[in-house]
């Protein structure tokens, strides 16, 4: 799972029938110090509660679709949780 | 499976029910000698690992679902499955090297 920040939403009227009713969010993957890493991706929101500005936890690959009720769905990133706090022990981070 | 070093933890209240009751740790993937090779990943911890420890984790959904008894459907992927006591590897010069990662930081 990776950390990411929600930076926007996507609205699509014409889409695969399995995606009807699914919230799609644009998320920017982050490092634990909240710096962007890599390109933004579109993720299906499994919590149905994430919104722009929030830091979330997402899963990629085949597991992404399993955040949804209909889990045999063409989705490659899924939001699994909304992050309240990130604790990093600076002394434990390797060089 | 991959080697990683636990560098912190994540607190999340609103999450999928698949994740209920599990501890989430931030794990920095490392080479055998301890240097990072990619961005940290968030792992479910089932072995009571702690910050500073070097661990073994799987980053594969089917294994994760089996470990957490979530078959056939669970949106889980990265799970810590072991705490490393000693690592031995062949260095660039061909000699066998080893290290014993500390159990706390």
- Whole-number pLDDT of residue B5: 97
pLDDT, position B16: 95
Residue of B nearest to A35 (CA): B39
Whether the CA torsion A23, A34, A86, B104 is positive or negative: it is positive
pLDDT tens digit string along A37-73? 999 999 999 999 999 999 999 999 999 999 999 999 9
Contact flag A32-B12 (C-beta cutoff 8 Å): no
Class level of CATH domain B2-99: mainly beta
Which of B4, B21, B3 minimizes the C-alpha distance to B12?
B21
Q: How many CB pairs under 8 A join A and B?
A: 111
Nearest residue of chain B to residue A32 (CA atoms)? B40
Give yes or no for B29 touching A (CB within 8 A).
Answer: no
- Confidence (pLDDT) at B7: 96
Domain boundaries defined on chain A: 2-92
The whole-number pLDDT of residue B103 equals 83
Average pLDDT over residues B75-95: 96
- The predicted-structure confidence for B6-64, as pLDDT tens digits, reads as follows 999 999 999 999 999 999 999 999 999 999 999 999 999 999 999 999 999 999 999 99
Which sequence spans correspond to the domains of chain B? Answer: 2-99
* CATH fold label, A2-92: OB fold (Dihydrolipoamide Acetyltransferase, E2P) (2.40.50)
The DSSP string of B10-67 is EEEEEE-GGGTT-EEEEEEEB-TTS-B-S--EEEEESS---TT-EEEEEE-HHHHHHH
- Is the per-residue pLDDT at B68 higher than 70? yes
Nearest by CB to residue B74, choosing from A66, A88, A93, is A66
B8 and A2 within 8 Å at the Cβ level: the answer is no
Contact B77 A47 (CB under 8 A): no
Distance, in Å, from the CA atom of A76 to the CA atom of A42, rounded to the nearest integer, reads 8
Give the per-residue pLDDT at A27.
98
Task: For residue B41, give the nearest of A2, A63, A83 by CB distance.
Answer: A2
Q: Round to whole Å and give the CA distance between B13 and A39.
A: 27
By C-alpha distance, the chain B residue nearest A88 is B8
Q: Is the pLDDT of residue B105 over 60?
A: no
């Amino acid at each position: 799972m990776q950390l990411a920040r929600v930076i926007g939403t996507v609205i699509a009227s014409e889409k695969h029938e399995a995606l009807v009713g699914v919230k799609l969010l644009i998320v920017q993957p982050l490092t634990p110090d909240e710096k962007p890493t890599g390109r933004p991706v579109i993720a299906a929101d499994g919590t149905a509660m994430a919104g722009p500005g929030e830091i979330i936890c997402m899963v990629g690959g085949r597991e992404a679709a399993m955040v949804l009720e209909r889990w045999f769905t063409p989705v490659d990133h899924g939001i699994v949780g909304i992050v309240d706090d990130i604790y990093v022990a600076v002394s434990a981070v390797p060089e | 499976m991959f080697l990683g070093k636990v560098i912190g933890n994540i607190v999340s209240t609103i999450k999928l029910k698949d994740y209920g009751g599990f501890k989430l740790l931030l794990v920095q993937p490392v080479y055998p000698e301890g240097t990072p090779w990619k961005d940290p990943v968030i792992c479910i911890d089932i072995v009571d690992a702690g910050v500073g420890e070097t661990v073994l984790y799987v980053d594969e959904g089917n294994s994760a679902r089996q470990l957490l008894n979530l078959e056939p459907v669970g949106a889980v992927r990265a799970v810590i499955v072991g705490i490393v006591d000693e690592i031995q590897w062949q260095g660039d010069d061909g000699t066998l090297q080893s290290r014993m990662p500390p159990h706390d930081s």
